[in-house]
Each structure stands twice: as C-alpha cells, then as structure tokens.
Amino acid sequence: MVSGSSGAAVGRGRSISVVSFGFLHGPAPEADVVVDLRRYLRDPARMSADLLDLDGRDLAVMQVVLDTPGALATVHEVVALVEAAPRMTSVALGCAGGRHRSVALALCVGWGLRGKGLDVDVTHRHVHLPRVLTNGEGQSR
C-alpha cells in the first residue's frame, strides 16, 4: 500500500511536501513515499456523475473519498510513517487522473501532519487539468 524510506532523528519543525498527482498524466513525482490509490480506493467519479467535474477539494468529493473503506486508515498510516521517519521530506499520493482521490487524501495527510506540528506544503500537480477518459482499465482513450 505505502512504500518509502526512513532516516534518523531530525526533530519537529521540518518541512514536508505533500503532492497529489494522476498516473494517467505521467510517472509519479520524486518522493520519499509514493502511495498508489488506484487499486484500493474507489473512484468517486464512477460513484456519481455529479462528482465528475468536481475535485478532491470539494466537500462532496472529499466525503465520498473518506467514506471509502481504507481511506482514513491510509491517511493515518502515511502521517504515522512520516512522523516515524524524521528524514522524510516528501510524500506523493496518486490516483488515475489526479483530481479526486489523491487530492482529497493529500489534503487530509497535510492536515494530519500540521496537527503533529510539522510545516507542510500541499500541492496538486494535476487537479487543474481536464478529466481523463479511460476504458475502465486505467488506459486513456
């Protein structure tokens, strides 16, 4: 589920970069931890047509994403991993298009890390791009 590396103690106050992205737009960004959300969190855009043109910053999308089994556990796991690995400085969360799941979870991870006293910069690499239409297997048409 989550892959990454760890290091020795550095202390609180370090800066952490949290990036959301879409695998259909290219490879994952360089990061200490890359979380691929495609296989185990359902795509909210497939749940309701009303969510298609929204993104993970919208409350309706965030609620659907966080109601998905495993979503909150993933947030807690990533926050705990970063907290336990003091040299870690970057986390990337990816879904298919980088507009729904990865955006919502990146925001939640950012909030969780800030709650631990860390300086966090959350960026969304692909949220501004148009939806990617797929054939259901993650391949663009």
Q: 138 in a domain, yes or no?
A: no
Q: 53 in a domain, yes or no?
A: yes
Q: Which domain holds residue 77?
A: 13-117
Domain count of the fold of the chain: 1
pTM across the whole model: 0.84
The residues, any chain, with a CB within 8 Å of residue 6's CB and separated by 6 or more, are 81, 84, 85, 86, 87, 88
Question: For the segment 35-75, what is each residue's pLDDT rounded down to a tens digit?
Answer: 999 988 988 877 788 888 889 999 999 999 999 999 999 99
pLDDT of residue 114: 95
Strands 33-36 and 2-4: antiparallel
Q: 112 in a domain, yes or no?
A: yes
Q: Percent of the chain having pLDDT more than 70?
A: 84
Q: Are 91 and 136 in contact (CB under 8 A)?
A: no
Task: Tell me the pLDDT of the chain averaged across its residues.
Answer: 86
pLDDT of residue 139: 41
Q: Percent of the chain having pLDDT more than 90?
A: 70
Q: 140 in a domain, yes or no?
A: no
Q: 106 in a domain, yes or no?
A: yes
Task: From 113, 92, 88, select the one nearest 102 (Cα to Cα).
Answer: 92
Question: For the segment 99-127, what is each residue's pLDDT rounded down to a tens digit?
Answer: 999 999 999 999 999 999 999 999 999 99
Q: 62 in a domain, yes or no?
A: yes
Q: 2 in a domain, yes or no?
A: no
Give the integer Cα–Cα distance in Å for 25 and 93. 13
